[in-house]
Every structure is written in C-alpha cells, then in structure tokens.
C-alpha cells in the first residue's frame, strides 16, 4: 500500500478541507467562467452533503467488490475512485460546517490516490479526464504536488478546458514549478471568453502569489522535519504521511459528489 495512515509511517496530520470550493478556489469553476466545455469537473459534482451517509459507504463497498472480482478492468478502479471521493465529500467523510475531513475521510482520500494508480497500471486506452482531476485533488491533499501536476496534466490533455488549466497552474505554483504554472495560466486565459479574461488574470495573480508562499512554507516544513528526524529519530526513520489543504481550502459548507 502506497499510503497507510495506520502503519508506522503515520504522524500527526494537518487539517484538510473538502467541498465544492476546493475546485479551483471559487467562482472560476463554480460559476463556469470560461466554461463552454461540458462534462467537466463541475458537471460531475452534485448535491449538498445532506444525503444518507450510509449510502456512500454502500457505494464504496459495491465498487470495491467489483474491483476485487475484476481487478484487470480499468473502469472498476474509476468506480472505486469516485465512490471514495464521494465518501470523503459526504457527512461521514467531512464536517458539513468546517469542511474538515474525518479519519474516514482522510483514508478515503488515500484510497482515491491508490485507485488511480491501480487504474494507470492497467494502461487504459483513453484517460478518464474527470477521474484524473479527482486524483489530482487527492495528491494535493497528500501534499504530493508533483504528482498532482502530472495527473492534472493528463486530465487537460484528455479534455482541455480553462478550468482544468487553471487548476494545473495552481498545482504547479504549489509545487514550485513556476514556469509550468505560467504556461498553464496562459492557456487558461486563452480558453476563457474575452469579456471574462481580466477576472481570470486577477485570480491567477492571486493564485500565483499564494502558491509561492505555500511552496516556501512547505519546503521549510519538510526541511524542519528532516532535521528533526536526523536529531531525534536517528538513522532508519521513515517520513510520515502528511495532509495539507487542497486548492481553495478554507471554505465552509458541504461537499459535492463525483458522478457515478
């Protein structure tokens, strides 16, 4: 298992927020700025987090049974990925008032990343663009921004959109990949209707600044952790699993759900 909150790699996790606002930090995606492309992430989300919580767990169980019975079928891992993402977005997985993930929600995010990697190992003929976006968000929560960039790039290559490139830029800035972020941001603006481009440019400017601050803080935190391991844990200590905020984190309210 790549990620395991129960094993010896566990350490204190940071608060993770999950909700509709995580998708690119607000109005750009939530209200479809530049969104002439149907079938994108926002089209795959529905609901307000008030659904029966047991239904989400049932969906996960059914998806996992199908995956266990047909592990060589790429589509079954997409079903697992979406079911786990839905669970993390549900009242069972995240607090409706604060957006903070429960322990089960944190594990669900890990399972999203694992399901994506199982899917990729099967070398599907065509990448599922929305699933790639969900997986990229999961990598963002796990603070693996290099993988978030890589995965979101697969999403926009499969289904280009202004929203998708905006998210790619956000991940790239958080990863410290400034040039890649600038290229993605430029493409996001290019794909936005002309009367909305100034709004998008302003959002990108804020995102780039926040991303630079985040990348610096993350680098400093990782450096401090390495020093602590050397001084306090000695040789052979393993790094722990870390959670961090997703793009747009800090918004309150219920989460959305990935379409089946």
pLDDT at residue 238, as a whole number: 46
Residue 208 tokens read as 């780039």
pLDDT at residue 98, as a whole number: 67
Residue 18 tokens read as 């999950």
CB 119 within 8 A of CB 74: yes
pLDDT at residue 42, as a whole number: 31
User: How does DSSP classify residue 100?
Assistant: B
CB atoms within 10 A of CB 159: 18
CA 115 from chain centre, in angstroms, equals: 13
| Residue in 184, 134, 128, 181 with CA at minimum distance from that of residue 161 | 184
**What is the C-alpha separation between 216 and 246, in angstroms, rounded?**
16
Which residue reads 């800090």 in tokens? Answer: 250
Residue 55 tokens read as 């239904």
Strand, coil or helix: what is 203? helix
pLDDT at residue 54, as a whole number: 74
**What is the C-alpha separation between 201 and 194, in angstroms, rounded?**
11
pLDDT at residue 90, as a whole number: 83
CB 53 within 8 A of CB 91: yes
CB 46 within 8 A of CB 256: yes
CB atoms within 10 A of CB 22: 26
CB 57 within 8 A of CB 89: no
| Residue in 218, 111, 204 with CA at minimum distance from that of residue 163 | 204
pLDDT per residue of the chain (260 residues) written in tens, 0 to 9:
344 434 333 332 332 333 333 433 332 332 233 333 333 333 333 344 444 567 889 999 999 999 999 999 999 999 999 999 888 878 888 776 766 778 898 899 999 999 999 999 999 999 999 999 999 988 987 889 999 999 999 999 999 999 999 999 999 999 999 999 999 999 999 999 999 999 999 999 999 999 999 888 888 888 888 888 888 765 444 455 555 433 333 333 333 456 54
Domain locations along the chain: 46-125, 157-231
CB 255 within 8 A of CB 109: no
Residue 253 dihedral angles phi and psi, to the nearest 5°:
110, 175
pLDDT at residue 52, as a whole number: 59
Residue 251 dihedral angles phi and psi, to the nearest 5°:
-75, 150
């Amino acid at each position: 298992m790549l990620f395991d909150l129960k094993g010896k790699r566990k350490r204190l996790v940071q608060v993770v927020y999950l909700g509709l606002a995580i998708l690119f930090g607000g109005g750009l995606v939530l209200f479809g700025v530049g969104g002439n492309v149907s079938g994108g992430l926002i089209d795959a989300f529905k609901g307000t987090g008030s659904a029966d919580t047991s239904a989400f767990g049932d969906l996960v169980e059914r998806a996992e049974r199908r995956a266990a019975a047909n592990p060589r079928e790429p589509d079954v891992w997409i079903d697992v990925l979406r079911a786990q993402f839905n669970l993390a977005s549900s009242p069972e997985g995240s607090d409706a008032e604060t957006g903070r993930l429960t322990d089960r929600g944190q594990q669900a995010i890990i399972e999203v990343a694992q399901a994506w990697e199982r899917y990729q190992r099967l070398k599907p003929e065509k990448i599922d663009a929305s699933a790639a976006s969900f997986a990229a968000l999961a990598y963002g929560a796990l603070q693996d921004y290099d993988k978030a960039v890589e995965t979101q790039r697969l999403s926009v290559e499969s289904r280009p959109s202004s929203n998708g490139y905006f998210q790619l830029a956000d991940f790239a800035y958080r990863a410290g990949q400034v040039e890649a972020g600038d290229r993605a941001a430029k493409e996001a603006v290019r794909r936005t209707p002309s009367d909305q481009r100034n709004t998008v440019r302003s959002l990108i400017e804020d995102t780039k600044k926040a991303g630079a601050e985040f990348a610096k803080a993350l680098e400093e935190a990782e450096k401090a952790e390495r020093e602590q391991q050397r001084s306090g844990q000695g040789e052979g200590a393993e790094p722990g699993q870390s959670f961090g905020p997703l793009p747009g984190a800090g918004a309150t309210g219920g989460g959305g759900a990935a379409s089946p």
